[in-house]
């Protein structure tokens, strides 16, 4: 083999190696670009799911799940007091049955301080109707309709007193009973604020009644002068025709009312004023 042919073969070999090297670089570069193009850029969310009121919720109203919903809220306008789905996914169920502490407008974000759940501090004050008071009286199975009275039921309050007949030749002792309050709402039995489904009997020692100021005074006087009993009213007659709110025997009379207290056979008439 002559020298010229050897030189040609060496040049061809070098050219082949150079072509292979260039092809490898080109293939590797395109593969890197392809891998980089497959990685999606990281997107920062601009909104969050915030719990809002679907309709106007007045103060003192019990909230239902239908009145709450999740709504997109801009991240930059997000307040730490808002209830977000990321932090409380079960907020719709958690706050169902809660009472509104303040008036909440439709579309307004919900915060824990605007609602109060049963058992929380301040729940009883939120449950009370405007102008009403919560007054507790002692009850038993005998004086509490056998334990069948539940929160939100309506009752009549009966007062039983000891009397003495001084007109007869021999002083005799007897008893008198009368209804002093009618159609009174039961707020709670002991620490139970709400009626539990399928619950038939609640045996408690204390019943909390919803009364206005005058009836609260009347009940306090009656409790000091005799024995009180609660008579459960039928659901059909809890609100008389034409009435849309609490009604009591005392408030249905004239403004000048009196309570007769018997002590040691002596009758004392106590005037009650509004």
> Considering the entire predicted model, what is its pTM?
0.53
Along the 274 residues of the chain, how does pLDDT read in single tens digits? 566 676 767 777 777 777 777 776 666 555 555 545 556 566 677 889 999 999 999 887 888 888 999 999 998 888 888 999 988 888 888 888 888 888 899 999 998 888 888 767 677 777 777 888 889 888 877 666 666 788 888 899 999 888 766 665 565 667 788 899 999 988 888 765 554 445 555 566 788 899 999 999 999 998 888 888 888 888 777 555 444 444 454 444 434 455 555 554 455 555 555 4
Q: Decide which of 70, 95, 125 is a domain's last residue.
A: 125
Range(s) of the domain holding residue 142? 131-272
Domain boundary among 94, 125, 156: 125
| φ and ψ at residue 43, rounded to 5 degrees | -105, 125
What lies within 8 Å, CB to CB, of 236 at 6+ separation is none
Cα distance between residue 245 and residue 105, in whole Å: 25
Distance between CA atoms of 172 and 58, rounded to whole angstroms? Answer: 57
Q: What angle do CA 80, 86, 88 make, to 5 degrees?
A: 80
Q: How many domains does the chain have?
A: 2
**Residue 223: CA count within 13 A, CB half-sphere:** 13
| The last residue of a domain, from among 125, 157, 180 | 125
Q: Are both 217 and 120 inside the same structural domain?
A: no
Q: Are residues 227 and 119 in the same domain?
A: no
What is the tally of helices (H) and strands (E) in the chain? 4, 11
């Amino acid at each position: 083999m002559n020298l010229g042919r050897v030189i040609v073969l060496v040049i061809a070999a070098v050219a082949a190696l150079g072509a292979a090297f260039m092809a490898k670089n080109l293939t590797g570069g395109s593969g890197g670009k392809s891998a980089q193009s497959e990685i999606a850029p990281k997107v920062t969310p601009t909104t969050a799911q915030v719990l809002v009121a679907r309709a106007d919720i007045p103060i003192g109203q019990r909230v239902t799940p239908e009145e709450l919903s999740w709504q997109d809220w801009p991240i930059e306008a997000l307040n730490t007091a808002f209830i977000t789905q990321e932090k409380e996914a079960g907020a719709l169920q958690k706050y169902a049955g809660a009472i509104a502490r303040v008036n909440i407008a439709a579309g307004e974000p919900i915060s824990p301080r605007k609602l109060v759940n049963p058992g929380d501090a301040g729940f009883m004050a939120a449950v009370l109707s405007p102008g009403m008071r919560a007054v507790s009286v002692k009850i038993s199975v005998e004086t509490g309709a056998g334990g069948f009275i539940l929160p939100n039921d309506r009752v009549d309050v009966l007062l039983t007193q000891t009397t003495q007949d001084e007109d007869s030749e021999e002083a005799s002792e007897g008893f008198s009973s009368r209804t002093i309050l009618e159609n009174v709402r039961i707020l709670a039995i002991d620490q139970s604020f709400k009626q539990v489904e399928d619950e038939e009997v609640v045996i408690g020692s204390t019943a909390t009644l919803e009364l206005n100021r005058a009836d609260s005074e009347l009940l306090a006087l009656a409790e000091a002068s005799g024995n009180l009993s609660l008579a459960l009213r039928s659901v059909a007659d809890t609100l008389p025709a034409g009435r849309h709110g609490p009604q009591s025997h005392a408030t249905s009379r004239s403004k000048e009312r009196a309570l007769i207290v018997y002590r040691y056979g002596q009758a004392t008439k106590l005037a009650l004023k509004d």
